[in-house]
Structure 1
Amino acid sequence: MTALETEALGRRYRRTWALRDCSVVVPSGRVVALVGPNGAGKSTLLHMAVGLLAPTTGTVRVFGEPVRENLRRIAFMAQGKPLYAGFSVAEMLTFGRGLNPRWDDAVARRRLAELDIPLGRRVGRLSGGQRTQVALTVALAKRPDLLVLDEPLADLDPLARQDVMRGLMAAVAETGLTVLLSSHVVSELEGTCDWLMVVNGGRVQVSGDIDELVAGHRLLTGPAEGADALAARLPVISRGGTGRQATLLVRDGTPPPDPRWTTRPVNLEETVLAYLRAPDLAALPRPTLTSTR
């Protein structure tokens, strides 16, 4: 089943396009990493996916239905983790219960107890990591099928980041929900997320299974004198090197014909950075959209 499907999706602010011609299909049950530089359109895409922004062009559907008709199945945690600082943690749960008909209070209280976060403490007196955990708890207690997180790790120290991601993965394992999260910390997404979307310059460059994407790329190293000829025959994503040695990151599984060139696999971070440095390139052809209506 498809969790998120967009077709020719775009959002324009006056004469500037924040996102344009975005067509992606994300299967349900995936943990999706949304990566891109500042101003690339990530938050715009997330806000349209949860119904906070209306598209200028195109459509977005969640589990086969227009977003506005499926809000009950979506939970969203904004980058600022909007909580009421003067509320106690228990009052935040009461607030969430009053707004969400699918609210699971037992899950929320059990999760906070496991995290050792006192229900009577004011939100404003919690640490940054604790506030993020409370915001995530409120989102999870809504019992969503799609959880959307905008930079959930941005203001956390490494230990708090690890704790948040561990708790998120436990929730995914327990419920099977689909998660879409944006992040700048690419290295921390490897081993956690299984689907990748790269947004660059207001357009989607990459969308697909992480293992398949990474396996479809490799780094070639060889003499600089033959680099031009080899690059002309291969889909080169990025090129580097110094002096007599050249490196080519390519999207191709065929071994180089010249034995002087060596090849090695690349990791997720190398693949992502290569595309971010080449905003005009795309990893995959336009996806074929399957109707779920």
Structure 2
Amino acid sequence: MTGPDEPAALHATELGFRYRARGEWALRECGFTVPRGRITALVGRNGAGKSTLLHLAGGLLRPAHGEIRVLGAAPGGGAARSRVALLTQDKPLYPRFTVADTLRMGGRLNASWDQPVAERVVREGGIALSARVGELSPGRRTRVALALALGKRPELLLLDEPLADLDPVVRGEIMATLMAEAAEREVSIVLSSHVLPDLEQTCDWVVLLRAGRVELSEDADALREGHALLTGHVEEEPTLREHTVVHRRTHGRQLTALVRPRGPVGGTWHVERPGLEEILLGHLQDGTRGAKGAAA
């Protein structure tokens, strides 16, 4: 296991990035820490800045403001390059290469290459080494790209929406592979995904981006313990004023509210402990955040 004094998997201070062509800030004033040894869910709505953050962490972009560190080092530098693997949305592979050609290329490009690990990831997907990459299904191409990333034996694996185009069965298989790598090799994983149900049983840390800013960076169990899902009559709403209301909705005279309690919940509310998916959906809804009693 990693020690308490080892640097974080990711650490950002006042991080900002601006796309000059559009004149827009993709990220602003982002500060957060992701501990090592975690499987982290990076979530946010389209345009929230998830891909930009991962590209900064992978060294493909440079901050316009502030700093980001990976495993205690600057992204893209010699100290980090061999320890970090980034799998982007487009999964760049050479379609005319066979799978064997692709893995050989991985071996030539990475001094720490582990051919047995890469072949195992491919083999678990039922993929022949002689198959041409361009003739594979999207799910199998994703598995080959993942084999390239894991064959590098990274300490930090950054995944930018790698499962978006896969069916539930294949997503489950690949998530199982990721969990095994995290457990057996102590790989820290940051996974950007819109498929929130897949994150419930997999991720133990959450970073939530909202309009280019970090709204949450917390342990997943602490998030579950720190929220409550309340159901009751709309006339009970005044009793919520002492709590942080993340999201609320009404149906007739019934009110349902996701809250971060600031003490005992008064009134006659029915109180449940929400799942991670419900918490993330609540925070992703449009509306005001962070103020007492704020209603979304």
TM-score, normalised on structure 2? 0.91
User: Cα distance, 1:248 vs. partner?
Assistant: 1.9
Question: What's 1:130 paired with?
Answer: 140
Aligned residues: 281
- In structure 2, distance between residues paired with 1:211 and 1:226: 28
Residue in 2 that maps onto 1:63: 71
TM-superposed deviation, 1:257: 2.1
Over residues 117-145 of structure 1, what are the superposed CA-to-partner deviations in whole Å (9 max), with x where a residue is unaligned? 11111001111111111100010000100
User: For each residue in 1:83-139, what CA deviation from the matched residue of structure 2 results, as whole angstroms up to 9, or x when unmatched?
Assistant: 100000010011111111111112212332333211111001111111111100010
CA contact (8 A) 1:275 1:282 kept: no
For residue 42 of structure 1, report the CA deviation from its aligned partner.
0.3
Gaps of 5+ in 2: 1-5, 292-296
Post-superposition CA distance 1:221-260 (Å, at most 9, x none): 2221231x223221111111222222221101633222x2
Number of the residue aligned with 1:10: 16
Does the Cα contact within 8 Å between 2:121 and 2:143 map onto a contact in 1? no
2:51 is the counterpart of 1:43: yes
**8 Å CA contact retained: 2:228, 2:271:** yes
Larger mean Cα displacement after TM superposition, 95-104 or 235-244: 235-244
Out of 12, 26, 29, the position equivalent to 2:34 is 26
| Moved beyond 3 Å, runs of 4+ | none
CA contact (8 A) 2:243 2:262 kept: no
Which TM-score applies when normalising by structure 1?
0.92
- Tell me how far 1:167 sits from its aligned partner: 1.3
CA contact (8 A) 1:200 1:279 kept: no
Check whether the contact 1:9–1:60 (CA below 8 A) recurs between aligned residues. yes
2:273 is aligned with 1:265: yes
Residues 147-205 of structure 1 deviation map (CA, whole Å, 9 limit, x = unaligned) = 00000110111111111111111222221100001000001111111111111111111
Indicate the RMSD between aligned Cα atoms, in angstroms. 1.5
Structure 2 counterpart of 1:83 = 93
- Distance in 1 separating the partners of 2:149 and 2:279: 31
Unmatched segments (≥5 aa) in structure 1: 284-293
Letter in structure 2 aligned against 1:247: T
Equivalence for 1:185: 195
Q: Please say if residues 34 and 42 of structure 1, whose CA atoms lie closer than 8 Å, have aligned partners that are also in contact.
A: yes
**In the aligned structure 1, how far is the partner of 2:189 from the partner of 2:245?**
31
Tell me the secondary structure at the aligned position of residue 9 of structure 2.
Answer: strand
Specify the alignment match of 2:3 in structure 1. Answer: none
Q: Does 1:165 align with 2:175?
A: yes
